[in-house]
């Protein structure tokens, strides 16, 4: 063993954050919170190609942010934990405040 920094939990933590670091995935999470849906419907509603949605869902599923549930040939996805939305909303608020208070928030 070397230095034990960057422990396992921090890595998982970063993985989860990274999964949130894509605009389409954020939209998917909000959409699933509003209403669980199966892949194609989600693709329609969000106006994204089905394979794209499927790939993003796979990532979110891997990180335990969503859960899949077969129903016939369809697979219904739903949020794994609604606190995820609380967290996203909190981040959005912090972001809004940052934009309001400080004048420069660039891309």
Provide the Cα torsion 55, 58, 63, 64; round to 10°. Answer: 140
Q: How many residues bind DNA (CB under 7 A)?
A: 26
Tell me the CA distances in angstroms from 88 to 6, 22, 29, 93, one per residue in order.
Answer: 24, 12, 9, 9
Instruction: Build a one-symbol-per-residue string for 22-61: x at contacts with a copy of itself by CB under 8 A, - elsewhere.
Output: xxxxxx------------------xx--------------
For residue 4, state whether it binds DNA (rule: CB under 7 A). no
The residues of the shown chain that bind DNA, judged by CB under 7 A, are 18, 21-22, 24, 38-41, 48-52, 54-59, 68, 70, 72-76
């Amino acid at each position: 063993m070397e230095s034990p920094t960057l422990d396992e939990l921090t890595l998982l933590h970063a993985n989860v954050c990274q999964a949130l670091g894509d605009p389409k995935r954020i939209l998917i999470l909000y959409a699933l919170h509003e209403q669980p849906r199966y892949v194609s419907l989600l693709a329609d509603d969000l106006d994204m190609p089905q394979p794209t949605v499927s790939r993003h869902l796979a990532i979110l599923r891997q990180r335990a942010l969503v859960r899949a549930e077969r129903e016939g040939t369809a697979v219904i996805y739903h949020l794994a934990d609604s606190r995820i939305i609380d967290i996203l909303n909190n981040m959005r608020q912090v972001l809004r405040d940052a934009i309001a208070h400080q004048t420069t928030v660039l891309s």
